[in-house]
């Protein structure tokens, strides 16, 4: 039996449409539009079932208790494997089907940890299961879970062979500038209550939802659409506007509709694709059907196929899996990075007659990072295959217990309360644990570090139980950490923060044209300099790097210490140095693709240290800024050592 699984409804529809093109599969393929369809197809032995992972998860319990279904030989084809295979969802799809000859436990226990049982099934080598994953943007976890790629058809090959359009030849770049004012004046130390990253994102949302700024950007978008996009594909080209939130998207939609009505002779309209939500100011339900005047049962993607609809506003919907060959333009008013950047901009890569040009316009000053992301994934996976580290989860657990904030006894008590469903007792217990946490961890930065440690432990546990069996007490503590961790700092702070955010307004804003960002016209599709004929690796020292940074950016002595500490940490990272040594003849790969991975690793180290301010500071995160300088220094050090 073959299951074709995706994690998005739009991808599910695309796959169903493709199967419909194969006449010989009529009657063989079952489309599970509802979870109840899955049970019917399983019982009747339908050979191929197309579904989403969300619906499949719903029926797992019924399958697990059916001995006949357990004996099926099952294959899974999993599309967009990078998104849903790293946590609970990836584990969940493997539970029901197991070796029917495997004996049950000799001592059944009502309190048996379900995650531990899942791990035992996985460890039995999946005797009757085969997993095949498809992704253009794999993560390191994807490779650990599914193994090295057995076949690669890269984006570069697909472009050369004419199956997709190259969408990353250049990006028109704008920078959004704004000044904010808050009517509430906080006490001197009050801002310390909120993580800098959260505040930065919330304030950015204020600016990017500002009606005056959207009015201005919408006018720029319409001008560019009229001048550069509309005439493409024999005058049939469409464009997508990617906004920072559903609320910002709604404002864009309303403003664009008004502007199009005011223009004489305009022969096209705009749609807004989104998941329904409650408006935060009016408390009214905003639905996609009502906003776009869709007919009963009509899908917005079908409406968009019409020649009269040329613009579509989105926030998160349709940023993956959306297939519309007439899309030739994209306006990014939302920062997209790494794999998300590739997925989003690749909505433009579908081929169509006379489609040889696409236009991407970025309003977030993020063009360099987007092009770097494409360069990273253009030739296939940028990651080396590696085995999962069984000890990682245990190390996190030991570090948490060593802090003496919470104990296994706390975890066992909380898990029992969760099972009983006693909400009042649960909240009373959480309040007590929060008070203890605040008494024992006094500094705000230390509190953030501890909460982040709990989150990393939980994520590590859910992923590694796909491969290893851990003692029962670790599973119990993971359930405890997942429930309690998010409640240790957030309660009370977010509402106060949002009260201030709602009193914040844009007092001055503009959009600054930065020019077109390109990588030598076309992004390079082949590796750069090879062999020993190139110049010798540069001699580097951490102190020289800090002096260069100090001349270019204003940094404090404390910042310099962290820059030195993290750079030296990466210089002694065995995995990084091994990769550099293995690719020492391919300077282009190291200084472009792999430097990006080292950059992300550096940011992880800053996050582990609770240095959240640097993670939102342009002098650190912009292209060519401090993190990039640190990454290149690490690369050059590795090349020097490998010479």
Among residues 116, 135, 154, the one where a domain terminates is 135
> Rounded CA gap, 334 and 102, in Å?
51
- The CA–CA distances, whole Å, from 139 to 52, 488, 596 equal 21, 30, 13
Close Cβ partners of 89 (under 8 Å, ≥ 6 residues apart): 7, 53, 57
Question: Domain check: are 270 and 369 in the same one?
Answer: yes
What does the pLDDT look like over 2-61, one tens digit per residue?
Answer: 878 776 555 556 676 777 777 667 778 877 777 677 778 877 778 888 877 666 555 556
pLDDT over 90 (residue 385)? no
Question: Domain check: are 373 and 398 in the same one?
Answer: no
DSSP per position, 355-424? ----EEEESBS-HHHHHHHHHHHTTS--S------HHHHHHHHHHHHHTTSS-HHHHHHHHHHHHHT-HH
Q: What is the dihedral of CA 616, 620, 625, 631, to 10 degrees?
A: -120
Q: What is the mean pLDDT of residues 279-303?
A: 90
Query: Minimal CA–CA distance to 228: which of 500, 516, 545?
Result: 516
> Rounded CA gap, 81 and 90, in Å?
9
> Rounded CA gap, 141 and 67, in Å?
32
Question: Domain check: are 209 and 337 in the same one?
Answer: yes
Among residues 313, 343, 377, the one where a domain terminates is 377
> Rounded CA gap, 242 and 345, in Å?
10
Close Cβ partners of 530 (under 8 Å, ≥ 6 residues apart): 585, 586
295 in a structural domain? yes
Question: Domain check: are 551 and 586 in the same one?
Answer: yes
Phi and psi based region of residue 362 (left: phi greater than 0; alpha: psi -120 to 50; beta: remaining): beta
Question: Domain check: are 404 and 533 in the same one?
Answer: no
13 in a structural domain? yes
Question: Domain check: are 303 and 405 in the same one?
Answer: no
Q: Which pTM value belongs to this model? A: 0.59
Residue 467: how many other CB atoms lie within 10 Å: 15
Question: Domain check: are 207 and 348 in the same one?
Answer: yes
Question: Domain check: are 371 and 413 in the same one?
Answer: no
Total domains present in the chain: 4
Q: What is the DSSP letter of 77?
A: E
34 in a structural domain? yes
For residue 553, the model assigns a pLDDT of: 87
Question: Domain check: are 125 and 20 in the same one?
Answer: yes
Question: Domain check: are 334 and 262 in the same one?
Answer: yes
Residue 285 CB-density burial (10 A; 0-12 exposed, 13-18 middle, 19+ buried): exposed
Q: What is the CATH number of the domain that holds 325?
A: 3.40.50.300
Residue 212: how many other CB atoms lie within 10 Å: 12
For residue 291, the model assigns a pLDDT of: 94
pLDDT over 60 (residue 86)? no
pLDDT over 50 (residue 148)? yes
Percent of the chain with pLDDT over 90: 20
pLDDT over 80 (residue 123)? no
What does the pLDDT look like over 464-514, one tens digit per residue?
Answer: 776 677 888 999 999 999 888 888 875 444 455 555 555 555 555 556 666
271 in a structural domain? yes
Residue 261 CB-density burial (10 A; 0-12 exposed, 13-18 middle, 19+ buried): exposed
Report the b/e string of 386-415 with b at 16+ CB within 10 A: eebeeebbbebbeebeeeebbeeebbbebb
Handedness of CA 592, 596, 597, 602 (dihedral sign): positive
Q: What is the mean pLDDT of residues 539-553?
A: 85
524 confidence band (pLDDT: 50, 70, 90): very low
For residue 329, the model assigns a pLDDT of: 92
> Rounded CA gap, 511 and 221, in Å?
12
Task: Answer yes or no: are the C-beta atoms of 516 and 170 closer than 8 Å.
Answer: yes
What does the pLDDT look like over 371-384, one tens digit per residue?
Answer: 877 877 776 655 55
Lowest-confidence region among 113-127, 164-178, 214-228, 469-483: 113-127
69 in a structural domain? yes
Question: How far is residue 421 CA from its own chain's centroid?
Answer: 32
- The CA–CA distances, whole Å, from 589 to 383, 585, 616, 623 equal 12, 9, 27, 17
Q: What is the domain extent for residue 349? A: 167-377
> Rounded CA gap, 196 and 456, in Å?
20
DSSP-derived pairing of the beta strands 238-242 and 327-332: parallel
612 in a structural domain? yes
For residue 191, the model assigns a pLDDT of: 42
For residue 256, the model assigns a pLDDT of: 94
- The CA–CA distances, whole Å, from 370 to 197, 329, 364 equal 21, 15, 11
**Which residues on adjacent β-strands are paired with residue 312?**
240, 271
522 in a structural domain? no
Question: Domain check: are 342 and 443 in the same one?
Answer: no
Question: Domain check: are 483 and 546 in the same one?
Answer: no
155 in a structural domain? no
Half-sphere exposure of 368 (CA within 13 A, CB side): 12
Among residues 79, 111, 135, the one where a domain terminates is 135
Residue 391's φ and ψ, nearest 5 degrees, are -80, -20
Residue indicated by tokens 């999946």: 126
> Rounded CA gap, 378 and 65, in Å?
45
């Amino acid at each position: 039996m073959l299951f074709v699984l995706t994690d998005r409804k739009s991808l599910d529809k695309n796959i169903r449409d493709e199967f419909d093109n194969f006449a010989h599969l009529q009657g063989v393929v079952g489309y599970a539009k509802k979870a109840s369809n899955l049970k019917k197809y399983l019982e009747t032995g339908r050979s191929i079932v197309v579904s989403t992972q969300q619906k499949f998860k719903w029926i797992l319990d019924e399958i697990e208790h059916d001995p006949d279904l357990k004996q099926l030989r099952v294959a899974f084809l999993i599309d967009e494997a990078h998104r849903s295979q790293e946590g609970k969802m990836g584990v969940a799809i493997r539970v029901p089907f197991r070796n029917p000859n495997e004996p049950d436990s000799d001592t059944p226990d009502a309190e048996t940890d379900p995650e531990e049982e899942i791990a035992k099934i996985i460890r039995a080598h999946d005797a009757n299961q085969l997993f095949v994953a498809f992704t253009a943007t794999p993560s390191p976890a994807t490779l650990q879970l599914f193994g090295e790629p057995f076949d690669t058809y890269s984006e570069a090959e697909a472009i050369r062979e004419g199956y997709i359009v190259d969408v990353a030849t250049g990006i028109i770049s704008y920078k959004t500038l704004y000044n904010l004012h808050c009517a509430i004046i906080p006490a001197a130390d009050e801002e310390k209550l909120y993580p800098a990253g959260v505040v930065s994102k919330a304030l950015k949302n204020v600016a990017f939802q500002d009606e005056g700024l959207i009015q201005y950007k919408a006018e720029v978008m319409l001008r560019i659409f009229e001048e550069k996009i509309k005439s493409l594909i024999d005058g049939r080209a469409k464009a997508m506007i990617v906004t920072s939130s559903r609320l910002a998207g709604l404002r864009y939609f309303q403003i664009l509709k008004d502007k199009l009505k005011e223009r004489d002779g305009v022969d096209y309209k705009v749609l807004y694709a989104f998941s329904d939500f409650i408006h935060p100011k009016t408390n009214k339900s905003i639905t996609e059907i009502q906003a776009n005047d869709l007919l009963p049962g009509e899908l917005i993607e079908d409406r968009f196929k019409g020649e009269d609809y040329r613009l579509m506003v989105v926030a998160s919907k349709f940023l993956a899996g959306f297939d519309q060959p007439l899309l030739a333009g994209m306006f990014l008013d939302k920062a997209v990075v790494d794999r998300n950047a590739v997925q989003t901009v690749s909505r433009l890569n579908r081929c169509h007659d006379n489609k040889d040009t696409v236009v991407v316009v970025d309003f977030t000053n993020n063009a360099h990072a987007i092009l770097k992301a494409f360069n990273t994934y253009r030739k296939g996976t940028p990651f080396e295959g590696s085995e999962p580290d069984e000890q990682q989860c245990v190390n996190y657990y030991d570090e948490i217990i060593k802090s003496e904030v919470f104990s296994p006894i706390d975890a066992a008590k909380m898990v029992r309360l969760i099972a009983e469903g006693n909400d009042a007792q649960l909240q009373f217990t959480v309040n007590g644990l929060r008070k203890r946490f605040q008494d024992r961890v006094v500094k705000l930065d230390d509190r953030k570090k501890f909460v982040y440690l709990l989150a990393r432990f939980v994520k590590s546990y859910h992923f590694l139980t796909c491969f290893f069996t851990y003692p029962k007490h670790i599973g119990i503590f993971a359930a405890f950490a997942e429930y309690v961790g998010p409640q240790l700092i957030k309660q009370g702070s977010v509402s106060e923060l949002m009260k201030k955010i709602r009193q914040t307004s844009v007092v001055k804003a503009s959009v600054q044209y930065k020019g077109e960002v390109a990588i030598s016209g076309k992004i390079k599709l082949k590796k750069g300099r090879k062999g020993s004929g190139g110049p010798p690796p540069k001699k580097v020292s951490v102190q020289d790097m800090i002096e260069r940074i100090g001349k270019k950016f204003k940094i404090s002595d404390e910042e310099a210490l962290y820059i030195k500490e993290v750079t030296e940490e990466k210089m002694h990272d065995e995995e990084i140095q091994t990769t550099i040594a293995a690719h020492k003849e391919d300077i282009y790969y190291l200084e472009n693709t792999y430097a990006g991975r080292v950059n992300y690793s550096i940011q992880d180290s800053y996050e582990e240290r609770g240095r959240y301010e640097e993670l939102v500071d342009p002098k650190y995160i912009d292209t060519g800024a401090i993190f990039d300088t640190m990454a290149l220094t690490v690369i050059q050090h590795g090349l020097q050592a490998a010479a």
